[in-house]
A and B are shown apart, each in its own frame.
Chain A
Amino acid sequence: MADTPTIGQASAVILDRGYRSYHGPRTGRRGAMAAVVKEGYRRVLGLRRKAKRKIFPWTLIALALGSAAVLVAIEWVSSTLPISLDTSDLFPRYAGYFDFISNIALLFAAFTGPQLLVPDRTQGVLNVYFSRPLGVRDYLVAKGATFAAVILSFWLVPQLILHLGYAALSPAGFLSYLGETTDILWKVPAAALVYFTMHGSLAFLVASFVKRVGAAAAGFVAVLLGLNLVALLLQETGLAPGARWTALLAMEQHPRFVRDWIFDLDASITIPAQAGFDPEASLMVVIGCAVISVLLVGRRYRRLT
């Protein structure tokens, strides 16, 4: 009688193949940069890390998303009330929402920037990166792209929830609301980009020189808010020579000023506006900060390698 393989034999699979040569495709620099972006995402969100690493980022994300959901819920409740209530004056929408979560977003940027740069440097992982087909520029571009994607998502996803929520609750109907507010589709991303450029460039700059994540995060917040305070004091006292120009030190205020310009809002309460500057000046400061940051961070990393 011929031997018939049993079910167990027929379905047998060798699970451990041992170390073998690799003859498949190689993705080159682009693949390496994509890997850096993916790993950066995991790091800042605490994915594939211990549970305690997830607490801080996800708490901030929950606060940002939760606040948007609460605003939509309030809109829904007010729409069910027998009296007509214009909630747009009472609760923040779009431009106002940037202020509403600005502190949370600041903390998120303060945490994210150092997380992306500091551990690689202090734990020696740069030795691994730069022994691969990856240059300093590739590494920094990939890290910057990760930072931009994470921070812009942090600003934009809650805004999207707001937008879709308001559209769904609009008396004019979902599509009509979307049609009437098409300007939001460029204004909100443009404002988010300005916030990211300011926060991101400073956070990266501080993170590329400081050796601990916590210290870098604290340093970033201190620089941003400290300069605000210095600018405000110098403006109030008017003691410093060229006191008007010191208003440009108020780094935290520039994105607000530009955002109000984008949304056509009154921005007279910001420090640069009070010193008589135009929003274009604030935009130039934001761009200038980004350029200086890119140059200094690039120089720092070229020296490191």
Chain B
Amino acid sequence: MAHGTATVVSDGPTGPRHTDSPIIETRDLHKHFGQVRALAGVDLSVPPGITGLVGANGAGKTTLIRLLLGLTAPTSGDVAVFGAPVSRDAAGLRAKIGYMPEGSCLPRDQTAADFVAYAAELAGIPPAEARRRASETLFLVGLHEERFRYLGDFSTGMQQRVKLAQSIVHDPGLVLLDEPASGLDPAGRDQMLEVIDRFRGFGMNVLFSSHLLDDIEQTCDWVVMLDGGRLLRSAPLDPPADGAAVSVEVFDDPLPLVAALTAAGIEVTHADRVVTAVSPTEDVFVAVRNALAASGSSIRAMGADLSSLEDVFMAATRESNG
């Protein structure tokens, strides 16, 4: 997993690119559609880099993206992108933002080169430059050879790449990607994530919505978790240090093992019969072995903690739901 630390402050034509200031901020953000609560009191501060936006269907991911684009107004609360309130100049901000929608957005009767150039012109790039940038962007996403083919003849994977190309052709400071790997085979997904990872090199910040948590883990520096319109977590996505955590699944009551580990000064969490022990200083395997012996617990499985983003998400959801 890549971890970018941005330190250079520079306000280019597309807004702050490398800065320590948050790229996205929301304060007590609410959005209701009639009786349906899409977002409820979301306070968010997203730093520069690649951020994953995680949540089940209906969690409020797309609503949040639409609020960031200024396409819908919040019921209450504030949204700011690059430090500027979206409500002040939504159209001006959209010139600095790229958006890749989840669904189809490609006209079947245009060539890839024409459409991506058109997308650049729509964002204010002059026509001649738009054509040049379309060619360069299609090269970046691996469609240089196919750029003069009609979009209606493209495979799903190629269409996803064109969608990605149109979202970055105007050199945005922030790119909002809604399920970019949707519908792709594993190889296509890897290629897509690889391209997104390269955006760091161009100084682009990315908010990347996905329900595929592996994709988020593979690509993002920061993760925002939503559930039922509420913010569960907004935090850096740090990998556990090797050997720092061990998970044990026991056959019976996990509490004696938890007590033994706690008595040994080990940080412990447990969910159902899975106990996770964490210690940055001690050898956790030795501590767990000793605690198992002391508690007399029978183990079903044991291993280095492979706690995935999915575990974190599920734990956060459980915690949120009490």
Interface of chain A residues 1 through 58 with chain B (CB within 8 A) = 16-29, 31-32, 34-36, 38-39, 43, 48-50, 53
Q: Which residues of B contact A49 (CB under 8 A)?
A: 109-110
Chain B CB within 10 A, most for which of A19, A21, A25: A19
B124 within 8 A of A: yes
Interface string of B116-144 (1 = CB under 8 A from A): 00110111111101001100110110000
Q: Which residues of B contact A27 (CB under 8 A)?
A: 121, 124-126
B104 within 8 A of A: yes
Interface string of B3-37 (1 = CB under 8 A from A): 00000000011100000000000000000000000
Q: When chains A and B are docked, how far (Å) is the Cα of A132 from the Cα of B94?
A: 5
A135 within 8 A of B: yes
CB distance from A263 to the nearest CB of B (A): 40
Chain B residues at the A interface, C-beta cutoff of 8 Å: 12-14, 69, 71, 91-92, 94-95, 97-99, 101, 103-111, 114, 118-119, 121-127, 129, 132-133, 136-137, 139-140, 150, 166, 168, 170-171, 202-203
Q: When chains A and B are docked, how far (Å) is the Cα of A142 from the Cα of B232?
A: 43
Q: B139 contacts A134, CB within 8 Å? A: no
Q: Can you report 29 residue pairs joining A to B where beta carbons are below 8 Å apart?
A: A17-B132, A21-B12, A22-B129, A22-B171, A23-B12, A24-B125, A24-B126, A26-B123, A29-B91, A31-B121, A49-B110, A53-B109, A120-B107, A123-B106, A124-B103, A125-B107, A127-B99, A127-B101, A128-B99, A128-B122, A130-B69, A130-B71, A131-B94, A131-B98, A132-B119, A132-B124, A133-B92, A134-B122, A135-B91
Q: B119 contacts A22, CB within 8 Å? A: no
Chain A residues at the B interface, C-beta cutoff of 8 Å: 16-29, 31-32, 34-36, 38-39, 43, 48-50, 53, 119-120, 123-125, 127-135, 305
Q: B94 contacts A133, CB within 8 Å? A: yes
Q: Which of A19, A124, A305 contacts B105 (CB 8 A)?
A: A124
A-B CB proximity, top 6 nearest: A26-B124, A131-B99, A35-B121, A22-B171, A127-B101, A133-B91
Q: A28 contacts B124, CB within 8 Å? A: yes
Q: Which residues of B contact A26 (CB under 8 A)?
A: 13, 95, 123-125
Q: B140 contacts A19, CB within 8 Å? A: yes
Question: Per DSSP, are chain B's interface residues mostly helix, strand or loop, or mixed?
Answer: mixed
Q: B202 contacts A19, CB within 8 Å? A: yes
Q: Which residues of A contact B126 (CB under 8 A)?
A: 24-25, 27, 31
Q: Which of A21, A43, A48, A119 contacts B111 (CB 8 A)?
A: A48
Q: Which of A19, A21, A29, A32 contacts B139 (CB 8 A)?
A: A19
Q: Which residues of A contact B118 (CB under 8 A)?
A: 35, 39
Q: When chains A and B are docked, how far (Å) is the Cα of A207 from the Cα of B14?
A: 36
Q: Which residues of B contact A128 (CB under 8 A)?
A: 99, 101, 105, 119, 122, 166
Q: Which residues of B contact A18 (CB under 8 A)?
A: 136, 139-140
Q: Which of A34, A123, A133 contacts B104 (CB 8 A)?
A: A123
A133 touching B95 in the complex, CB below 8 Å, given contacts A18-B139, A124-B104: yes
Question: Per DSSP, are chain A's interface residues mostly helix, strand or loop, or mixed?
Answer: loop
Q: Which residues of B contact A16 (CB under 8 A)?
A: 136, 139
A131 touching B69 in the complex, CB below 8 Å, given contacts A22-B13, A25-B126, A36-B122: yes
Q: When chains A and B are docked, how far (Å) is the Cα of A38 from the Cα of B110?
A: 14
Q: B136 contacts A133, CB within 8 Å? A: no
Q: A22 contacts B170, CB within 8 Å? A: yes
Q: When chains A and B are docked, how far (Å) is the Cα of A5 from the Cα of B287?
A: 72
Q: A21 contacts B106, CB within 8 Å? A: no
Q: When chains A and B are docked, how far (Å) is the Cα of A17 from the Cα of B109?
A: 28
Q: When chains A and B are docked, how far (Å) is the Cα of A57 from the Cα of B97?
A: 37
Q: Which residues of A contact B94 (CB under 8 A)?
A: 131-134
Q: Which residues of A contact B98 (CB under 8 A)?
A: 131
CB distance from B310 to the nearest CB of A (A): 29
CB distance from B15 to the nearest CB of A (A): 12
Q: A22 contacts B107, CB within 8 Å? A: no
Q: A32 contacts B121, CB within 8 Å? A: yes
CB distance from B60 to the nearest CB of A (A): 18
Q: When chains A and B are docked, how far (Å) is the Cα of A28 from the Cα of B170?
A: 12
